Amino acid sequence: MVNLQGKFLIHAREMGWTNPNKRVLIALSGGVDSMVLLHLFLTLPEDERPQISAVHIHHHLRAASDQEATALKALSVRQHFQLIIRDWAPEVHPKSGIEAAARHFRYQQYGGVMEDVQADWVATAHHADDQAETILMKWVRGGEIAQLRGILPVQSFGSGELIRPLLSFSKADLRDYAMNQGLTWFEDATNQSQEMTRNRMRQQVIPRLKVENPQFLAHVEDYAGQLTDLLEVANLQIERLLAIILTSAHPLVGSVVVLSGCTDAQQRLVIQAILKQLNPELSVQTSQVAAIQRLITNQYRTQGTIDLGHGWRFFREYDQFGAEKVKPDVKSEQSSPDFMLKLNHWYRLSKFEEVGLMTSQPNTGDVQQVWLTPSAFPVGVRPWQPGDKYRLANGHHQAVARLMVNDKVPQSQRNSVNVVSTHDGTILQVIHFRRATQNAADQRQTGSQPYYLVLRQHYPKGD
């Protein structure tokens, strides 16, 4: 039989949990596992025993819950430990997803009570069988390899740490200990239900694996430890790569050139880390990582976006990549104007800029002289369109789309590019980018006269 009490003491000393000046908050459900955990802490040598508090979550899901809460109160008085009970009111229970909601409520309350009693640790009674169940469930469901570490022995939580001191012991070890010590506990009948995946793993799958190899639980623990070590080393390497690749954290922007220079495996791991850094709630799919990797390494596709879900998207714009919240696709008058230019009037192009077509040359602003015949009117400002071209100095024409490619205008900004166009569609100017070239023939056309296309800064009062 396992000397559980002796092994627990050794483990507690190694982990630093035997400090009488600190406080442990035990998550006490009333089941055999948590009752054993409480007893192990209560029976530590007095000079090595931390101050002990316990928190019980009354879920109001079973008829026996009231009786269990009353019994735990009585136990706390007899054993001289502080017990805090938190109620999950029936009126806030969801109609579906009750198990996940209950877990969320529990840990939320653990954090709050931890702060209230100024505890250093919250201790839960997860054991080796729980670990095996968790890892098998995550393996079956699929996901990120880091999830196969299962339940972590120690992790940051609230104002201190969340600890699982019983992960090295099996369910059988805990039950034997409870019976030998004469402990009382409560059985949750829902643990026998075959509707829950965890219960099927517990009652059907894991017992068969133990028959195949009695050391099954020990091997699971060993693999989880090895994987944790490997991921720790890998994460350090990824952090070093991120420091080189990312040029900005807020907003998240990085170098395509540097990331492309990494090995394929490094690229995939870095991309996963970037997405997790962006939003820890994102479920990173292998297909998404592969799509991003193809976008980054494609020499012929220098721009593109990939939907990440949850309102996020990944983008590449030439030599940069990044991720951002998706903005609503709403056109505004400022970013996409569409209006006619009446002679000698100013029109708002943006908040701080105006455009006008003048009959005499002004002494301010960015001025372009244009020769126009009466048939060229009305002249207007509008968003560029596929097929728009402007005349070059050599007499040839270039597409506005090609201009934006050559000038490496990001895809996200192209919809806000505007042109000044005559009635017959001749482009006079790609605003902020190029002026169309006119020649002597334009001046010699019948009725042709000089006009002045002007952009000027304008600051409204108060700005």
Q: How far apart are CA 195 and CA 204, in angstroms?
A: 13
Q: Which of 357, 341, 368, 352 is nearest to 433 (CA)?
A: 368
Q: Could you give phi then psi for residue 191, rounded to 5 degrees?
A: -70, -15
Cα separations (Å) of 14 from 20, 289, 350, 437?
Answer: 15, 40, 66, 80
Please enumerate in sequence order all residues whose Cβ is within 8 A of that of 140, keeping only pairs 6 or more positions apart, or say none: 197
Q: Which of 18, 3, 89, 4 is nearest to 51 (CA)?
A: 18
Could you tell me if 24 and 120 are in contact, meaning their C-beta atoms sit under 8 angstroms apart?
Answer: yes
Name the 3-class secondary structure at 453: strand
On the 0-12 / 13-18 / 19+ scale of CB atoms within 10 A, 278 is: buried
* CA end-to-end distance (rounded Å), the chain: 80
Name the 3-class secondary structure at 78: helix
Please enumerate in sequence order all residues whose Cβ is within 8 A of that of 341, keeping only pairs 6 or more positions apart, or say none: 347, 355, 356, 357, 378, 379, 380, 381, 420
> Would the annotation count 32 as a binding residue?
yes
The answer to whether the bond into 94 is cis (omega within 30° of 0) is: no
Q: Which amino acid is at 222?
A: D
Q: Could you give phi then psi for residue 71, rounded to 5 degrees?
A: -65, -40
Q: What is the largest CA-CA distance in the chain?
A: 111
DSSP letter at 377 equals: P
Q: Which of 414, 242, 252 is nearest to 320 (CA)?
A: 252
Helix residue spans in 118-245 (DSSP H): 128-141, 171-181, 197-200, 206-212, 216-245
DSSP letter at 251 equals: T
> Would the annotation count 33 as a binding residue?
yes
Could you tell me if 337 and 441 are in contact, meaning their C-beta atoms sit under 8 angstroms apart?
Answer: no
Q: How far apart are CA 100 and CA 106, in angstroms?
A: 10
Token pair for 139 = 């393996």
> Would the annotation count 270 as a binding residue?
no
Please enumerate in sequence order all residues whose Cβ is within 8 A of that of 412, keeping only pairs 6 or more positions apart, or say none: 315, 317
- For the chain, the C-alpha Rg in angstroms (whole number) is 34
Q: Which of 43, 53, 41 is nearest to 17 (CA)?
A: 41
> Would the annotation count 30 as a binding residue?
yes
Residues forming the annotated binding site?
29-34
Residues forming the annotated binding site for ATP?
29-34
